[in-house]
Structure 1
Amino acid sequence: MSERVENRSEDQAAPATKAGRRLAAQLAEKKAAEARRRRQSVLGAAVGVLAVVALVGGLVWLNSGDDDKPANTSAPASPSAPAEPAEPSAPPAPELPADLDPALKTKPTVQAGSGELKKLTVTTLVKGKGPAVKKGQEITTNYVGVTYKDGKEFDASWRNGQPATFPIGVGQVIKGWDQGLVGVPVGSRVQLDLPADLGYGEKPPAGYPAGALRFVVDVLAAK
């Protein structure tokens, strides 16, 4: 009788023991899973920290590398507008003789001619007190040249602020000057009316006036 009771107790204990083992196994598996999750979490955090450290380190290295680069010494572009160009200075006044007639110190106004011009005409506007110009001399003059027909100015020494110097009577200037200025006293202002054949002709080179011309010439010096 007692022997059967013991066997029944052992049979009842066996299922309980199996259930306990299963529970223990489940608990152990749960703990292992939690441990794996903790390891993964720690590992992920560590990877994140390493990534941040690597990023910061890279930035520090890049910044430190800038110290080795040559400094940019070029000046930055100016935001201001470029300076205004300087106003052109007035041409220097011509060097004139001290005893020159005051009329010769200012540029003359030259009018157009009238009628048909057939020959050289020399008109004295201001008579100088100096010696007469001789052929072959080098003379210094101020002058204004216009077309005879309409008085349009095409040339003037006054534009440059300096008198023009050249030999006279030797073919270095137009025929009307060679013929009209020889014999004129130094210090004079004369008007030369030149027909086309004593100027640049009826069909002159490009840039030269055609037809009859009128010049007003101041003879400043001769040597």
Structure 2
Amino acid sequence: MNVRPSAPTPLSKTEKRAAAKAAKAKARQAARRRRMLGIAGTVAAVVVLLAVAVVLIVRSIDEQAPDAASTAGTPTPTAAATTEAPFPQLPAGADPALGTKPEVKAGTGTVSALTKTTIIEGTGAVAQTGQTITVNYVGVTYADGKQFDASWDKKQPFSFTLGSGVIQGWSDGLTGVKVGTRIQLDIPSNLAYGDNPEGGRPAGALRFVVDVLAVG
């Protein structure tokens, strides 16, 4: 015997309204999930793009950076090197010619007494015995002009107490000379190191060209 299902009972108005509200709620939830999924997808895409950008930047920096092996042993400039004072430091108002090493040639004849020849006349303080004097100089043997010493080659001026610690020809020749002066001193053997000096010092008459840079 076949039993037919009974027809569904019609919904009341209250039940219809409840069913409609439930359907709308489900639709809103579904729409919210779709929006969240869309936002999540956008964020993921942005993260991927940023990661790719970082990788490209790092790779570019690595390619541009010098190879450590190629820079090994390359000296790094120090503060001292970049701030090294120029040589020579000339006194204020000095003739710019004092910034160039003079050419000193041999003399003629014999030297029997100290001879002072002013090449450039300075205008600074006068050097006096007992003061510390700073000079640049070139020294040659008078007879052949062979250089035996020069502060220029050491890039370091020479300071001493005038009247002591140097040959008599210097003490006598530089006393009374003004700062900024370039002077030639032709010095006889007896006011230099003598005719038979020891320790590799030059013998006989000597010629010096001396620049007076400071006294004090």
Q: Number of residue pairs matched?
A: 139
Q: Secondary structure of 2:127's match?
A: coil
Which structure 2 segments of 5+ residues have no match?
1-72, 74-80
1:185 matched residue in structure 2? 178
User: How far apart are the structure 1 equivalents of 2:115 and 2:90?
Assistant: 26
Q: Secondary structure of 1:197's match?
A: helix
Cα drift, residue 100 of structure 1: 1.7
User: How far apart are the structure 2 equivalents of 1:190 and 1:93?
Assistant: 19
Q: Is the 8 A contact 2:138 2:147 kept in 1?
A: yes
Larger Rg: 1
Percent identical residues: 58
Task: Find 2:126's aligned residue among 114, 123, 132.
Answer: 132
Does 1:175 pair with 2:168?
Answer: yes
Q: Is the 8 A contact 1:92 1:162 kept in 2?
A: no
Task: Find 2:91's aligned residue among 93, 97, 100.
Answer: 97
Q: Which runs of 4+ in 1 moved over 6 A?
A: none
2:36 matched residue in structure 1? none
Q: What TM-score do you get using the length of structure 2 for normalisation? A: 0.60
Does 1:212 pair with 2:212?
Answer: no
Cα drift, residue 92 of structure 1: 5.8
User: How far apart are the structure 1 equivalents of 2:125 and 2:87?
Assistant: 24
User: How far apart are the structure 1 equivalents of 2:194 and 2:112?
Assistant: 13
Q: Secondary structure of 1:180's match?
A: helix
Q: Is the 8 A contact 1:95 1:162 kept in 2?
A: no
- Matching of residues 51-130 of structure 1 within 5 Å: 93-130=87-124
Q: What TM-score do you get using the length of structure 1 for normalisation? A: 0.58
Which structure 1 segments of 5+ residues have no match?
1-82, 84-88
Q: Secondary structure of 1:177's match?
A: helix
Q: Secondary structure of 1:220's match?
A: strand
Q: Secondary structure of 1:130's match?
A: coil
